Structure 1
Amino acid sequence: MSIYNRIEFLIKSHGLTKKAFCEELKISTGNLGDWRRGKSTPSTNKLIEIAAFFDVSLDWLLTGRERIAQPAGRVNELPADYVFQEGEGLNTELEPEEKEFIQEYIAFVKYRKQRDSGGN
C-alpha cells in the first residue's frame, strides 16, 4: 500500500470527499492526482500536516506500520526532568537522514501542539 493509498483510506474513513480534503489542507486536486499516479509525492511539510489532520503517526503514513517502542536503554540514563532542546543531539554520530527525520518530527510535534491549543 502506498502513501497515497493510506491518504485515500484516511479520507474515506473520515467521511470526507477528496475535494473537501484538498480544500481543508490547501492541496490542489491536480497534486492529489499526481500523488495517485505516482508522478509526485507529498512534501515533508504536507505529510506533517496530513498526519496531524488525521491524528496518525508519520511512521504509519509513510510505511503503514507503527514504530514499536524499544526496551529502555540509554534514555533511562537521562534525568527525569530532562528537556530535549531543539537541535540538541544532532551531531555527527547521526546519519543525515536521521537528523532530517528528527527535525521533521520536532516540526510535526510543534504543529500538532499549536493546532491542539487553537494556535496560541
Structure 2
Amino acid sequence: MQSIYHRIEELIKERGMTKKAFCQQLGISTGNFGDWKRGKTTPGTNKLIEIASFFDASLDWIMLGRDVQGEVLKESQDPYFFGASGQLNCQGEPLSEAERNFILEYIEFTRFRKEKNQRNSTMG
C-alpha cells in the first residue's frame, strides 16, 4: 500500500520536478519532507490542501490513494462545495458566512501562490 509520501513523490515525478524544487516552491523544509518519507510524520491538513491545489490533484487520492467517485469538485465551480444546504455532508452544523468567506479566501490565496510559484519557476 502506498503512503501519502509515495503519492506526493509520484506527483513530483509526473510534473518533472526535483524534490528540492517542490519543497522550495511549497515552503517545506527538506527535514520535514524526509520525515514524511520515513513515516515519522505526515503533512498537516493545510499543507495537504496546498499540495493538492499545486498539483491539481484530489485530496482523496493524495490521502487515501483512491480516485474520487462520482462528481469531481473543481475550484472553478460556484458556489464551490457548499451547495444548496450551505454545508458539507460530513458537517453537523451549517457554515457561517465568515467561515465560508475564510475558506473561499484561502482557496484564492492558494491559487495565487500556485500561479506565482509557477511564474517564478519559469523565470528562474
For 2:34, the equivalent position in structure 1 comes to 33
Deviations 1:61-91 (A, max 9, x none): 0111112128xxxxxxxxxxx6453689832
Q: Partners in 2 of 1:89 and 1:5 — Cα distance? A: 27
Greater gyration radius? 1
Length-normalised TM-score, structure 2:
0.63
Gaps of 5+ in 2: 72-82, 94-98, 117-124
Larger RCO, structures 1/2 (Cα 8 Å, 6+ apart): 1
Q: Partners in 1 of 2:67 and 2:89 — Cα distance? A: 25
Q: Partners in 1 of 2:59 and 2:90 — Cα distance? A: 21
What amino acid maps onto 2:13 in structure 1?
K
For 1:58, the equivalent position in structure 2 comes to 59
Q: Number of residue pairs matched?
A: 95
3-state DSSP of counterpart to 1:91? coil
Taking the TM superposition and a 5 Å limit, the aligned residue runs for 1:89-100 are 90-91=91-92
3-state DSSP of counterpart to 1:20? helix
Would the alpha carbon gap of residues 89 and 28 (structure 1) be closer, same or farther in structure 2, given more than 3 Å must change?
closer
What amino acid maps onto 1:20 in structure 2?
A
For 2:17, the equivalent position in structure 1 comes to 16
Length-normalised TM-score, structure 1:
0.65
Q: Partners in 1 of 2:9 and 2:66 — Cα distance? A: 16
RMSD of aligned residue pairs (Cα, Å):
3.3
Q: Partners in 2 of 1:21 and 1:60 — Cα distance? A: 19
Q: Partners in 1 of 2:88 and 2:58 — Cα distance? A: 21
Q: Partners in 2 of 1:68 and 1:88 — Cα distance? A: 15
Q: Partners in 2 of 1:111 and 1:2 — Cα distance? A: 26
Gaps of 5+ in 1: 71-81, 93-102
For 1:73, the equivalent position in structure 2 comes to none
